[in-house]
Amino acid sequence: MTQESVAVELRGIGKRFPGVIANHDVDLTIRAGTVHALIGENGAGKSTLMKILYGVQKPDDGTISINGREVALRTPTDAIANGVGMVFQHFMLADNLTVLENMVLGAEKLHGIGDRARAEIRRISDAFGFGLQPDVLVEKLGVADRQRLEIAKVLYRGARIIILDEPTAVLVPQEVDALFANLRELRNAGNAVLFISHKLDEVLDIADDITVMRRGTTVGTADPRTTTKRELAELMVGSELPSPETEESTVTDTVQLTLADVTLADEFGRNLLTDVSLSIRRGEILGIAGVEGNGQAELVETIMGMRIPGAGRIHLGTEDVTHWHTRKLREAGIGYIPEDRHRHGLLLDAPLWENRILGHQTQAPNAKGPWINRSGARKDTQRIVTEYDVRAPGIDTPARALSGGNQQKLIVGREMSGDPVLLIASHPTRGVDVGAQAAIWDHIKRARRAGLAVLLISADLDELIGLSDTIQVILRGRLVGTFDPASVTPQDLGAAMTGGEAA
> Which residue ranges make up the site for another protein (CB under 8 A)?
18-20, 215, 304, 306, 325-331, 336, 338, 343-350, 354, 357-359, 361-362, 367, 370-372, 374, 391-393, 396-398, 400-402
- What span, in angstroms and rounded, lies between the C-alpha atoms of 164 and 202? 13
- What span, in angstroms and rounded, lies between the C-alpha atoms of 45 and 216? 5
Looking at beta carbons only, is 216 or 290 nearer to another protein?
A: 216
Looking at beta carbons only, is 195 or 353 nearer to another protein?
A: 353
- Please state the closest distance from residue 54 (CB atom) to another protein, in A: 24
Looking at beta carbons only, is 277 or 386 nearer to another protein?
A: 386
User: Whose CA is closest to 191, among 159, 223, 164?
Assistant: 159
Looking at beta carbons only, is 179 or 264 nearer to another protein?
A: 264
- Please state the closest distance from residue 254 (CB atom) to another protein, in A: 25
Looking at beta carbons only, is 184 or 215 nearer to another protein?
A: 215
- Please state the closest distance from residue 344 (CB atom) to another protein, in A: 4
Strands of 470-475's sheet in order across: 334-337, 422-426, 453-457, 285-289, 470-475, 478-483
Looking at beta carbons only, is 173 or 359 nearer to another protein?
A: 359
Beta-carbon contacts of residue 170 (< 8 Å; ≥ 6 apart):
89, 143, 147, 292
DSSP 3-state of 362: coil
Looking at beta carbons only, is 116 or 400 nearer to another protein?
A: 400
- Please state the closest distance from residue 20 (CB atom) to another protein, in A: 5
DSSP 3-state of 313: strand
Beta-carbon contacts of residue 229 (< 8 Å; ≥ 6 apart):
200, 201, 204, 241
Q: Detail the DSSP E strand segments found in 154-292.
A: 161-165, 192-197, 209-214, 217-222, 255-265, 271-281, 285-289
Strands of 20-31's sheet in order across: 20-31, 6-17, 61-66, 69-71
HSE of 386 in the Cβ direction (CA atoms, 13 Å)? 6
Can you list the alpha helix ranges (DSSP code H) found in 54-114? 76-81, 99-104, 108-111
- Please state the closest distance from residue 288 (CB atom) to another protein, in A: 19
- Please state the closest distance from residue 25 (CB atom) to another protein, in A: 16
Q: Detail the DSSP E strand segments found in 282-375.
A: 285-289, 311-316, 319-320, 334-337, 367-368, 371-372
Beta-carbon contacts of residue 33 (< 8 Å; ≥ 6 apart):
5, 187, 188, 190, 191, 192
- Residue 426 contacts residue 338 (beta carbons within 8 Å): yes
Neighbours of 493 (CB within 10 A): 24
Q: What angle do CA 177, 183, 186 make, to 5 degrees?
A: 150
Looking at beta carbons only, is 34 or 218 nearer to another protein?
A: 218
- Please state the closest distance from residue 55 (CB atom) to another protein, in A: 23
Looking at beta carbons only, is 74 or 400 nearer to another protein?
A: 400
Looking at beta carbons only, is 219 or 260 nearer to another protein?
A: 219
- Please state the closest distance from residue 226 (CB atom) to another protein, in A: 28
- Please state the closest distance from residue 432 (CB atom) to another protein, in A: 16
Looking at beta carbons only, is 77 or 361 nearer to another protein?
A: 361
Give burial (CB, 10 Å; 0-12/13-18/19+) of 223: exposed
Looking at beta carbons only, is 22 or 465 nearer to another protein?
A: 22
- Please state the closest distance from residue 266 (CB atom) to another protein, in A: 16
- What span, in angstroms and rounded, lies between the C-alpha atoms of 449 and 447? 5
- Please state the closest distance from residue 329 (CB atom) to another protein, in A: 8
- Residue 39 contacts residue 212 (beta carbons within 8 Å): yes
* Distinct helix (H) and strand (E) counts, the chain: 17, 22
- Please state the closest distance from residue 44 (CB atom) to another protein, in A: 13
For the residues of 155-171, what is the DSSP string, one character each? HHTT-SEEEEESGGGG-
